Amino acid sequence: MGRKILLITTDQQRHDALGCTGGTVARTPAIDRLAADGLNFRQARNQNTVCMPERATILTGQYIRTHGVISNGIPLPENAPNLAAYLNRNGYRTALLGKAHFEPASHTDYFENWAASRGETGPHRGFDRMELCGHTGRAGRSLTHYPRWLRDGYPGEVDGFHEYTTGGGPSGRGGGDTRAPQVWHNPIPRGHYHTDWTADRTTAFLDSLDPGEDWFVWMSFPDPHHPWDPPQEELERVDWHDLDLPVGYPGSPERTAKILAGKPRHWLEWYEGCRQFNFEVPATFVPAQLTPDQIREVNAMVHVENELIDEAVGRVMHRIEALGWGRDTDVFYTTDHGELQGDFGMLFKGPYHVDALMRLPFIWRPALSAGIAPAEIHAPVGHVDLAPTICRLAGLPVPNWMQGAPLPTHESDNQGHERTITEWQDGFAGQDITMRTLYRDGYICTVYEKTNYYDSDDVGELYDLSEDPLQWHNLWIDPARQSLKSDLVADLYDNLAPSRAEPLEKVAQV
């Protein structure tokens, strides 16, 4: 019999969002307790900086170039080998409650977007049960389980959410006190918000299981991803007027432009509103026009959402204890990618391989019965390592199609964890960018491959995190660092995973 396994993910949560990862604003005692009782991986990074590629990596244990979901809008094939299906075939009950996003959210031909309308909850992709939500209670182009539940039970609350659209729509409209983009005051009651709904659906599934069953449950919160519209009744938790600006905020547009001028040119072009490089950023948004107060208000909204997530995690953990499974349940906590959240004077995400987007909160609270001592671990790990670890816990051999390595369980165990690799391969408005990034030995090295946008084979970024943790000083052309750069670039390409033989089709933007 294997162990019971709870995987908790958030969406677009910074590595420093939690008390146990250095956060000083949001109160996160439930997640901090998981870290105190378990393993807190302080150098975890993702394999891509947007949702669909990274969620496909979590599910498959493969790098994006292998599973083929190299950008948003590319559905992971239903027959792709994946962790849930592997566990399910070997006797595990499986469920995904909350945000999935293995299929485009704006394309109605896929299960995630029609299941609720047909009254279906699975099985799908190896999950016995899927009850799904996104970032809003509005229907949009699709109607997942949460907005349908809200529409059917509380129709007057649907329009309280920000109108979540991307690209050329009204998604850039401001709200709140400062008219910050994608900030909104939502009158929905706390108990009807999608964070609590996700926790409620998780506990309902756990309650349906027999005591002796092995289970793998993925509880997937859609927050703190934009739009930032938590229940208005909870906003008193954090007063944006009282917040300091982020340490990664340069202080003025002039100072920001000077820093960005040392990076590859798409950084400054996006900051100044000359070009856009990612569909998920509102088309009307110009980072250089952000005010300090707007950044403060966005951060306050995010802190509120993080506190609500923590309380929901605490409720689910309490239920697991009440069911008698506390000592025999492994709990993982992470997110898919980060958020700029004022760093470099910017918001949102995109082709920017800095720790605001790459570095992750990453916690494993092993089953207490396993006897693994709590520790902070600094070996480089990534989402590609989750699936192999979970296979080991289930007492199953790690299949050869998984590409990561089981997570270390103590600080001196670095076998198979010398580096992480993060990739971006996407285009917008005819401007293609391909980036390959290595983290190793405290350095971040990013190679920009030739595309129709970058026509040189010597474009990149190099940062020494020990001297420059904010990644403001690009060392790519520093004469004293050329030998180091050559070594890191060679190491990057020596360790790239094999590419998929046939590329997958991008059928939508998100």
Instruction: Label residues 462-497 b or e (16+ Cβ within 10 Å = b).
Output: bbbbeeeebbbebbbeeeebeebbeebbebbeeeeb
In one letter, which amino acid is 240? W
Classify 4-11+84-355 by CATH class: alpha beta
- Asked whether the predicted pLDDT for residue 402 surpasses 80, the reply is yes
Q: What is the pLDDT of residues 82-119, one digit of tens each?
A: 999 999 999 999 999 999 999 998 788 899 999 999 99
Average pLDDT score over residue span 376-387: 98
Write down the residue that tokens 């378990």 correspond to. 38
How sure is the predictor about 382, in pLDDT bands with cuts at 50, 70 and 90?
Answer: very high
- Asked whether the predicted pLDDT for residue 443 surpasses 60, the reply is yes
CA-nearest of 50, 56, 73, 23 to 352 is: 50
The rounded mean pLDDT for the chain is 95
Assess if CATH 3.30.56 describes domain 420-494. Answer: no
The share of the chain scoring above pLDDT 70, in percent, equals: 97
Q: What is the pLDDT of residues 329-340, one digit of tens each?
A: 999 999 999 999
- Report the SS3 class of residue 152: helix
Q: What is the pLDDT of residues 161-174, one digit of tens each?
A: 997 655 434 445 68
pLDDT at 414: 76
pLDDT at 165: 59
- Asked whether the predicted pLDDT for residue 510 surpasses 60, the reply is yes
Q: Full-prediction pTM beyond 0.75?
A: yes
Q: Give the CA diameter of the chain.
A: 64
Residue predicted with more confidence, 141 or 320:
320
pLDDT at 113: 93
pLDDT at 172: 56
Interatomic CA distance for residues 269 and 260, integer angstroms: 9
The share of the chain scoring above pLDDT 90, in percent, equals: 91
pLDDT at 509: 87
CA-nearest of 162, 300, 286 to 227 is: 162
- Asked whether the predicted pLDDT for residue 417 surpasses 80, the reply is yes
Asked if residues 227 and 339 have their Cβ atoms less than 8 Å apart, the reply is no
pLDDT at 167: 42
Q: What is the pLDDT of residues 339-364, one digit of tens each?
A: 999 999 999 999 999 999 999 999 99
Interatomic CA distance for residues 377 and 43, integer angstroms: 8
Asked if residues 53 and 70 have their Cβ atoms less than 8 Å apart, the reply is yes
Interatomic CA distance for residues 510 and 499, integer angstroms: 22
How sure is the predictor about 152, in pLDDT bands with cuts at 50, 70 and 90?
Answer: very high
- Asked whether the predicted pLDDT for residue 381 surpasses 60, the reply is yes
| Three-state secondary structure of 289-333 | HCCHHHHHHHHHHHHHHHHHHHHHHHHHHHHHHHCCCHHHEEEEE
Residues forming a β-bridge with 94: 216
Where are the domains positioned within the chain? 4-11+84-355, 420-494
Asked if residues 389 and 407 have their Cβ atoms less than 8 Å apart, the reply is yes
Interatomic CA distance for residues 23 and 478, integer angstroms: 33
Interatomic CA distance for residues 138 and 159, integer angstroms: 7
Asked if residues 99 and 501 have their Cβ atoms less than 8 Å apart, the reply is no
- Asked whether the predicted pLDDT for residue 398 surpasses 90, the reply is yes
Average pLDDT score over residue span 6-32: 98
- Asked whether the predicted pLDDT for residue 399 surpasses 60, the reply is yes
